[in-house]
Structure 1
């Protein structure tokens, strides 16, 4: 494979991912308000993101493996089409219960979309520049997250909920069109010593013929990747809380604009992620990943401790540096030891853990806010994320 990182196909995938997240992050911050408008409680409003991510997490190991088998391009086209139909349903219904039912279907195909696109993109990257490549690619989703919430709230104010759904329909149609014009599945680099386990020790007894990947080639789940990815569950709990409730927290605290936290978060990630990817490729993935877990916990603790504009911005800065760097560095660390033919399954395992955390954060924090208020709810998220570093250290050592 060439050492060239910025290829036409790389930029096409960046455009695809930007479109995916521009669509999703118009829905996610506004759907809780729509659910409350239709008579749902604060807890019910948190279930929208919760159900989306639980469905995604439950299906991710399966949809990732299916993408490896039927083709990632085909998976992208099917997923885009089904999510378009879900957007039509969101705009048509006047029942928040039906919205919550539809989002379960949305979540299943969302996992296929993310697993297939990540596996396709990874096949385009030079191995020794993987963290850098994933970091640059991730900027497309971060850029969309920066633009989508203020755009969605503007559309909701001037046109209403159905115009948001119409916008999402058009974006999903565009996603399907981009997928249609992709090469069939991208290059698949031969990786004769790639193992499905994370960071297995190299030794004369581990030959290509007897690698765990070969033994597990028919398995749907990359179990060792999944175990290590519980680290992501522990900190993505807080990300789920922020995605669903940072706008409501701002409203309750008199902070404006209500999209302040998500916008600041996206800007910080845009500014820091390109540098952090290069740094991780140079000095080592673990050395960069572990401090990020500390920053995430501190950022959430700061949000729990203060409800002013300054505390929102400071929390978003710390949380953004940690969150924006942690995911691509973790993926690069894990993917060193995964066969090219198993990348969809591996991304499915990572997505399962990450989305379970987001869904649990969204639903649990909604209940905690109702019972105890915003500071306590975000304090719980901070405490859980603080466990992620010791868990990663212990799990990584045992999986070597």
Structure 2
């Protein structure tokens, strides 16, 4: 089923709501990503050292980690749209904070607050998409709606670099703020399920669980652990890949790597969503983890641009398949009344990995070669793969069958 066919098969209110969400998501990710190549240079021009640049950029994860849980609870108990509006407003205000502050250390606070926007937006956006999607098209629509990320990633950095080059930082930050606020006007037209008449907090299918029950639930903790390992891998990759390519002179820039990965990610999301509705989430997640492993092995063996290009393609396929399929998987395993908190637990694993990747692997990086670092990150993908095929369902046999698409997800809810 093509994107247009899937869109036209929906009821008119669903089409309008998902269309509005698509525009909101695209403007949000353009706002976020146009600062990726420009904010570090802005901090350097303010007099920041390399360590201070890393501190400011890394503080983004502080706000993300500290707010994810409470925002997930708010999305379930109060309103998805309220949490989404928080993400949009913070994404619009934070660039103005960068513009008004002219010293390094106060930017740490602004950057941490900016991290709240990601936690709020991704939690509420994913929950709203699932709420508005028919169950039989859930994976497909999650895949299509997640395209805003690679599209935003392909537009944002290029736009930010051009604005900085030709118009300067004030124009850059103002443009980022405009894109951040852009989705606010469309938000009010999107309906959402009532969060008032929720079932009592008892552990049964269709009822909401508290955080302790979620953290002790085998159905959720395994996806969270897998995302933790991939978060460590991805965080290490974005930290060391530019240095590796610059120092080894393989004839392939980090910019081209990210562009290639974004194209591969875009392509994989188009096909993986419909495939997961037909064949199950398991085979797609299995393939994505293998792709991550292959990408890291290619980087350890890279002697020229061809291997790096292939690594970028495999990494893009892995990223473009794993995250939407994990969102679909944990959506299947949760009721609509607890989805915000479930996302905060499982996606919090990825956040945690990203936050600790720099300090953890960086502390080892001064003593290890880049090839050894990529071998370590490849081993994380391999462990995640083994964990998924052996522990993703009730026991080894059902997990292995689910990972190969021969068994349904026994943890899936009906709603």
> Is the TM value for this pair above 0.5?
yes
Deviations 1:310-344 (A, max 9, x none): 23321110111111111111222222121111111
CA distance 1:364–1:212, change in 2 (3 Å): same
Deviations 1:263-305 (A, max 9, x none): 1111111112111111121112112211211111221232343
Work out the CA distance in 2 between the residues paired with 1:239 and 1:29: 17
Runs of 4+ in 1 over 6 A off after TM superposition: none
Unpaired runs of 5+ residues, structure 2, are: 1-7, 396-410
Q: CA deviation at 1:353?
A: 0.9
2:244–2:370 Cα contact (<8 Å) kept? yes
What is residue 234 of structure 1 aligned with on the other side?
Answer: 229
Report the TM-score when normalising by structure 2. 0.81
Q: CA deviation at 1:253?
A: 4.5
Summarize the alignment of residues 126-141 of structure 1 with structure 2, pairs less than 5 Å apart.
126-141=134-149
When the two structures are aligned, how many residues end up with a matched partner?
A: 382
What is residue 337 of structure 1 aligned with on the other side?
Answer: 333
Report the TM-score when normalising by structure 1. 0.84
CA distance 1:152–1:251, change in 2 (3 Å): farther
CA distance 1:182–1:345, change in 2 (3 Å): farther
Summarize the alignment of residues 213-232 of structure 1 with structure 2, pairs less than 5 Å apart.
214=207, 216=209, 219=211, 222-223=214-215, 224=217, 225-232=220-227
CA distance 1:211–1:31, change in 2 (3 Å): same
Deviations 1:57-107 (A, max 9, x none): 332122111122221112222332233222111223233322222221222
1:228–1:395 Cα contact (<8 Å) kept? no
What is residue 176 of structure 1 aligned with on the other side?
Answer: 184
CA distance 1:383–1:47, change in 2 (3 Å): farther
Deviations 1:218-268 (A, max 9, x none): 558732324531101101222223445544544444546542111111111
1:263 aligns with 2:259: yes
SS in 2 for 1:260: helix
1:185 aligns with 2:178: no
2:227–2:347 Cα contact (<8 Å) kept? no
1:54–1:355 Cα contact (<8 Å) kept? no
CA distance 1:219–1:242, change in 2 (3 Å): closer
2:300–2:374 Cα contact (<8 Å) kept? yes
Unpaired runs of 5+ residues, structure 1, are: 197-208
1:110 aligns with 2:118: yes
Moved more, 237-246 or 382-391: 237-246
Work out the CA distance in 2 between the residues paired with 1:53 and 1:292: 25
CA distance 1:45–1:313, change in 2 (3 Å): farther
CA distance 1:157–1:121, change in 2 (3 Å): same
Moved more, 337-346 or 248-257: 248-257
Moved more, 60-69 or 390-399: 390-399
Structure with more relative contact order (C-alpha pairs < 8 Å, separation 6 or more)? 1
What is residue 203 of structure 1 aligned with on the other side?
Answer: none
Work out the CA distance in 2 between the residues paired with 1:127 and 1:215: 19
1:149–1:262 Cα contact (<8 Å) kept? no
CA distance 1:241–1:16, change in 2 (3 Å): farther
What is residue 166 of structure 1 aligned with on the other side?
Answer: 174
What is residue 120 of structure 1 aligned with on the other side?
Answer: 128
Work out the CA distance in 2 between the residues paired with 1:127 and 1:93: 47
Q: CA deviation at 1:171?
A: 0.9
Work out the CA distance in 2 between the residues paired with 1:329 and 1:115: 15
SS in 2 for 1:182: coil
SS in 2 for 1:341: coil
Deviations 1:361-400 (A, max 9, x none): 2444555555546444444322323221123344424686
1:276–1:325 Cα contact (<8 Å) kept? yes
1:310 aligns with 2:306: yes
Work out the CA distance in 1 between the residues paired with 2:35 and 2:361: 19
SS in 1 for 2:334: coil
1:52–1:106 Cα contact (<8 Å) kept? yes
What is residue 4 of structure 1 aligned with on the other side?
Answer: 10
CA distance 1:291–1:27, change in 2 (3 Å): same
What is residue 91 of structure 2 aligned with on the other side?
Answer: 83
What is residue 211 of structure 1 aligned with on the other side?
Answer: 204
2:245–2:252 Cα contact (<8 Å) kept? yes
CA distance 1:263–1:367, change in 2 (3 Å): farther
1:99 aligns with 2:107: yes
Q: CA deviation at 1:132?
A: 0.8
2:90–2:116 Cα contact (<8 Å) kept? no
